[in-house]
Amino acid sequence: MLQSDLLNLRVTQPMATVDLFHAEDTELATFRAGQDIFREGDPGDLMYVVRDGEVTLRVKGQLVETLGPGGVLGEMALIEHAPRSATATARTDCTLVPIPEKRFMFMVQQTPHFALQIMKVIAERLRRMDARL
């Protein structure tokens, strides 16, 4: 799939699908298996959507989640302007769509459904973590 084919990239989470953005001008980020995308404690100015491959999320070394295509990561750093709360590592070679804070804020303001989907992602992650306690 070429960059221009990402015109209507969709993020699929349980129970919902939303159009993210028109991606003609969007750069893609590629990571090799085992490469860190970001580390817990790092500053965060991007969130990502997994286009291809798998990404693991770990908090204090504990596996929290494995994301595949359509998975969202890094959103919390944009919402609360705090350091990364997890380490994200490419489990396989992967391609991610980076979403800078400015675009994220525009999407939240202009597309309430997008904001609800991000809240659902966070709530589902929290419930899964609570279930492990």
CA distance 121 to 132: 17
| Strand-pair category, 62-67 with 87-90 | unpaired
Pick the CATH number of 3-132 from 1.10.630.10, 2.60.120.10, 3.40.50.300, 3.50.50.60: 2.60.120.10
In tens, the pLDDT along 78-117 reads 888 899 999 999 999 999 999 999 988 998 888 888 888 8
Residue 113: what pLDDT?
86
Cβ(48)–Cβ(96) below 8 Å: yes
Residue 16: what pLDDT?
33
Residue 6: what pLDDT?
35
| pLDDT mean over 6-21 | 40
| Position 17 confidence tier, pLDDT thresholds 50, 70, 90 | very low
Give me the residues paired with residue 65 across strands.
Answer: 57
CA distance 79 to 97: 18
Annotated domain spans of the chain = 3-132
